[in-house]
């Protein structure tokens, strides 16, 4: 007799006695009082039907085998009573069992692909019966807090089980690809130092040096640049990263990225080619349709002007148009989205609701008849007081009765990746899909696009006089724009590139600054960091001065990639133990308080206790 995993229960074993282990799942399928059907689910989320002549009850010997529990339990009476109760009852669903029996075919009318067999139960061994199951693993209507509090139960659902196995499989493909392409996997430290790179960091106090702190890395950015100066050449790792940010459905405080860096390169194309080959390998191994390479490229300026986003979903239209050239000189830009080619004009109430969801000043007007064409701007607060040549604008926009226009202003120099109409566009598309005016998107179609020529700097959000790095301060400027660094830094393009697919930013990278003088100039003269902040980068400047080759790299969101490939509802579903939107792990109860003695050991005092 052999033990078998359910996927390995195949036709050659029919008629033989085998043993399988897993979780018992009760069903309501009974032919009669004496003939019962249940299921066994194994560690891979596979099911095998169990056929028995009588209900599967807790064997009486279980009580004797677990009698030690009574003698070691504080409430021995209660425990003994509980066991006695179970001893004569049907085994609870989700109990861990080992079942021995003869494998046989199911009746032909009941056979389904992957579900052709059943096991006629001859012997059952309870390895651990379930005492408390707060919800059925297959019941996805249970509230999310309850599911996350009992994440170990949720993970028994075959769908989540499949997600984690797919994650493991794709990680193997990634590692195999980089190994075959002469990349070196290097693990970089998780205890880094605090540097002003943008996102808020998690701090870790040092016990050995009171008053000093480590910081968990937002990414291995500086370490991988140091590796380039160390002669590693081509580096990669599946890197753990940490950011203490406000969370959304696609953000977690700790996440994983495919991180890589290459030395002796000066062109984004070299990085892009590696990534395109990686995705070809992944899709081929998963049996999915391949994607043509090289991937299309779109400039940041075109993405913002046409789609209002630096990560546009290109699977549908609803393109924006820029009215700024038709308006008097202004520090802002005016964008318009003309809703056309729909079967039914949306109502004012529906349009107003969409605008309110954007949360910014978006105006709309529906042109009902020709009489409104010479004066539709009077319905738009952003335009009604401006001297306009509406005839030229109407011709540019191709306006006619039955069209709805959405209008909004946006800054000339952006501080975020989306404009007001860029936020409206997917809302409008989803609304039209629900109204059956547009078809549902094909999630199997992966529309990869490189977004390039980002601005190197952006206005600081809280200070219009200051500048911040659009991505990070180590990004190299475009060689053609070097002369603008001192006179017009906001017009300098970066050698940065983002990989976008189906409206999701999978990752971004850049050619790095390898000239220590240029790096110092950016930090001191452009970003105007204070001396205390500049000192945090002394190690990097020293590394660049030691003879660092030209280099560049990219980081791809591994969690987002998995979520995309398995078509889940977000990265939380493909992370084994995710955090809630407030950053808590409901299963283990973190973050948690610590004792006063622990705080004293780290020379920390909490002055504002909640």
Answer yes or no: is 501 within a domain.
no
Q: Are the beta carbons of 249 and 572 closer than 8 angstroms?
A: yes
In this structure, the number of other CB atoms found within 10 A of the CB of residue 248 comes to 10
pLDDT at position 91, please? 87
Mind listing the pLDDT tens digit for each residue in 375-415? Answer: 999 999 989 888 889 999 999 999 999 999 999 999 999 88
Q: What is the pLDDT of residue 479?
A: 96
Q: Percent of the chain scored above 90 by pLDDT?
A: 74
Distance CA 376, CA 394 (A): 10
Between CA 607 and CA 212 the distance in angstroms is 18
**Buried b or exposed e, range 198-237, using 16+ CB within 10 angstroms:** eeebbeeeeeeeeeeebbbbbbbbbbbbbbbbeebbbbbb
User: Sorting pLDDT into bands at 50, 70 and 90, what band is 233?
Assistant: very high
Helices (H) and strands (E) in the chain, counts: 17, 21
Both 119 and 162 in one domain: the answer is no
Q: How far apart are CA 63 and CA 74, in angstroms?
A: 18
Q: What percent of the chain has pLDDT over 70?
A: 91
Are 346 and 222 within one domain?
no
CA angle 64, 69, 73 (to 5 degrees): 150
Does residue 18 lie in a domain region? Answer: yes
> Rounded to an integer, what distance in angstroms lies between the CA atom of residue 456 and that of residue 490?
7
How far apart (Å, rounded) are the C-alpha atoms in residues 160 and 154?
7
Let me know if residue 166 belongs to a domain.
yes
| pTM for this entry | 0.90
CATH of the domain at 99: 2.40.50.140
* Residue 104 lies inside a defined structural domain of this protein: yes
Take residue 186 and report the two structure tokens written for it: 């290097």
Q: pLDDT tens across 432-468, in order? A: 999 999 999 998 899 999 999 999 999 987 766 799 9
Q: Is residue 385 part of a domain?
A: yes
pLDDT of residue 7: 59
Does pLDDT of 207 surpass 50?
Answer: yes
21 to 29, 138, 183, 185, 241: CA distances (angstroms): 21, 19, 41, 37, 37
Q: For residue 10, which of 51, 53, 46 has the smallest C-alpha distance?
A: 46
558 and 238 Cβ atoms separated by less than 8 Å: yes
Quote the tokens at residue 168.
Answer: 């493991």
Domain that holds residue 372: 316-440
CB 185 within 8 A of CB 237: yes
Give the C-alpha distances (Å, rounded to integers) separating 402 from 191, 366, 477: 60, 7, 46
Any idea what DSSP says for residue 90? B
The secondary structure element, H or E, covering residue 410 is strand 404-411
Three-class SS of residue 355? helix
Q: Let me know if residue 115 belongs to a domain.
A: yes
Q: Identify the domain boundary among 440, 469, 496.
A: 440
Q: What is the DSSP letter of 481?
A: G
| Confidence class for position 30, pLDDT limits 50, 70, 90 | low
Q: Residue 100: helix, strand or coil by DSSP?
A: strand
> How large is the angle between the packed helices 420-434 and 348-358, nearest 10 degrees?
130
**Would you place residue 75 in the very low, low, confident or very high pLDDT band (cuts 50, 70, 90)?**
very low
| Torsion sign (Cα): 492, 498, 503, 506 | negative
What pLDDT score does 486 carry? 94
> Residue 464 has which token pair?
């219009």
Encoded tokens for 220? 């291995």
| Digit-coded pLDDT (tens) for 83-109 | 334 444 678 999 999 999 999 998 888
CATH number at residue 232: 3.30.930.10
| Cα–Cα distance list, 466 to 369, 418, 491, 521 (Å) | 48, 21, 15, 15
One-character DSSP codes across 485-533: TTT-GGGPBBSEEEEEETTEEEEEEEEBP--HHHHHHIIIIIS---HHH
**What is the C-alpha separation between 505 and 411, in angstroms, rounded?**
22
Q: What is the pLDDT of residue 577?
A: 96
Number of domains in the chain: 3
Q: Could you report the per-residue pLDDT of 132-184, keeping only the tens digit for each?
A: 899 999 998 999 999 999 999 999 999 999 999 999 999 999 999 999 999 99
Residues 256 and 358 in one domain: no
198 and 323: one domain?
Answer: no
Tens-digit pLDDT profile for residues 234-275: 999 999 999 998 877 678 999 999 999 999 998 999 999 999
pLDDT score at 245: 85
State how far the alpha carbon of 117 is from the alpha carbons of 16, 56, 114, 567, 605, in Å: 12, 19, 8, 30, 64
Looking at the structure, tell me whether residues 259 and 373 fall in a common domain: no
With respect to residue 468, please indicate whether it lies within any of the assigned structural domains: no
Say if residue 72's pLDDT is above 90: no
- Do 321 and 242 fall into the same domain? no
On whether residue 75 sits in a domain, the answer given is no
Residue 512 has pLDDT above 90, yes or no: yes
DSSP code of 579? -
Domain endpoint, select from 440, 459, 488: 440
- 256 and 367: one domain? no
Show which of 440, 455, 479 is a domain's final residue.
Answer: 440
Q: Answer yes or no: do 240 and 344 share one domain.
A: no
pLDDT digit string (tens) for 328-382? 877 889 999 999 989 889 999 999 999 999 987 899 999 999 999 999 999 999 8
Is residue 512 within 8 A of residue 475, CB to CB? The reply is yes
- Give the C-alpha separation, 125 to 58, whole Å: 9
pLDDT at 2: 56
Q: Are residues 168 and 115 in the same domain?
A: no
Q: Are residue 179 and residue 245 in the same domain, yes or no?
A: yes
> Does 232 lie in the same domain as 355?
no
Q: Distance between CA 555 and CA 475 in Å, rounded?
A: 13
- And the tokens for 573? 């579903």
Selection from 340, 526, 360 nearest residue 432 by Cα:
340
Average pLDDT, the chain: 89
What is the domain-level CATH number for residue 345? 3.30.1360.30
Residues 112 and 183 in one domain: no
Which pLDDT does position 73 carry in this prediction? 42
């Amino acid at each position: 007799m052999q033990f078998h995993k359910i996927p390995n229960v195949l036709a050659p074993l029919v008629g033989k006695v085998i043993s399988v282990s897993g979780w018992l799942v009760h069903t309501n399928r009974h032919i009669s009082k004496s003939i019962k059907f249940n299921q066994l689910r194994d560690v891979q989320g596979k099911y095998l039907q169990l056929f028995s002549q009588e209900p599967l009850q807790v064997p009486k010997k279980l009580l004797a085998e677990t009698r030690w529990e009574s003698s070691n339990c504080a409430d021995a009476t209660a425990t003994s009573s509980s066991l006695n109760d179970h001893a004569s009852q049907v085994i609870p669903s989700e109990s861990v069992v080992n079942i021995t029996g003869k494998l046989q075919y199911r009746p032909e009318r009941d056979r389904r692909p992957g579900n052709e067999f059943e096991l006629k139960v001859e012997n059952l061994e309870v390895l651990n019966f379930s005492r408390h199951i707060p919800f059925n693993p297959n019941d996805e209507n249970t509230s999310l807090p309850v599911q996350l509090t009992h994440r170990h139960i949720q993970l028994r659902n075959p769908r989540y089980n499949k997600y984690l196995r797919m994650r493991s499989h794709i990680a193997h493909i990634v590692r195999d690809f980089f190994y075959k392409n002469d990349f070196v996997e290097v693990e970089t430290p998780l205890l880094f130092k605090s540097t002003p790179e943008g996102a808020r960091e998690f701090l870790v106090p040092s016990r050995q040096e009171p008053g000093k702190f480590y910081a968990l890395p937002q990414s291995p950015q500086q370490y991988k640049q140091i590796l380039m100066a160390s002669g590693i050449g081509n580096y990669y790792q599946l890197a753990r990263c940490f950011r203490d940010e406000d969370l959304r459905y696609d953000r977690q405080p700790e996440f994983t990225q495919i991180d890589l860096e290459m030395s002796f390169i000066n062109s984004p194309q070299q990085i892009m080619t590696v990534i395109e080959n990686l995705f070809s390998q992944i899709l081929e191994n998963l049996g999915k349709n391949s994607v043509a390479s090289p991937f299309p490229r779109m400039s940041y300026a075109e993405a913002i002007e046409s789609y209002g986003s630096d990560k546009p979903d290109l699977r549908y239209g609803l393109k924006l148009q820029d009215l700024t050239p038709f308006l008097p000189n202004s520090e802002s830009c005016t964008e318009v989205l003309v809703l056309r080619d729909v079967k039914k004009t949306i109502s004012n109430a529906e349009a107003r609701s969409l605008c309110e969801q954007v949360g910014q000043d978006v105006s709309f007007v529906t042109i009902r008849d020709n009489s409104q064409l010479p004066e539709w701007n009077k319905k738009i607060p952003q335009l009604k007081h401006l001297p306009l040549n509406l005839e030229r604008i109407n011709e540019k926009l191709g306006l006619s009765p039955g069209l709805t226009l959405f209008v909004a202003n946006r800054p000339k120099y952006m501080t975020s990746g989306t404009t007001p109409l860029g936020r409206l566009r997917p809302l409008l598309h989803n609304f039209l899909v629900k109204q059956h005016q547009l078809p549902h998107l094909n999630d199997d179609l992966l529309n990869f696009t490189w977004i390039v020529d980002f601005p190197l700097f952006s206005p600081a959000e809280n200070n219009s006089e200051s500048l911040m790095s659009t991505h990070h301060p180590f990004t190299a400027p475009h060689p053609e724009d070097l002369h603008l660094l001192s006179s017009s830094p906001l017009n300098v393009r970066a050698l940065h590139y983002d990989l976008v697919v189906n409206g999701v930013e999978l990752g971004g990278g850049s050619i790095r600054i390898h000239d220590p003088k240029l790096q110092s100039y950016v930090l001191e003269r452009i970003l105007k960091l204070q001396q205390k902040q500049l000192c945090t980068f002394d190690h990097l400047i020293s590394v660049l001065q030691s003879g660092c080759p030209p280099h560049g790299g990219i980081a791809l969101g591994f969690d987002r990639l998995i979520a995309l490939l398995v078509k889940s509802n977000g990265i939380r579903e493909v992370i084994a133990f995710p955090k809630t939107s407030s950053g808590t792990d409901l299963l283990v109860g973190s973050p948690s308080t610590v004792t006063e003695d622990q705080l004293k050991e780290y020379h920390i005092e909490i002055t504002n206790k909640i």
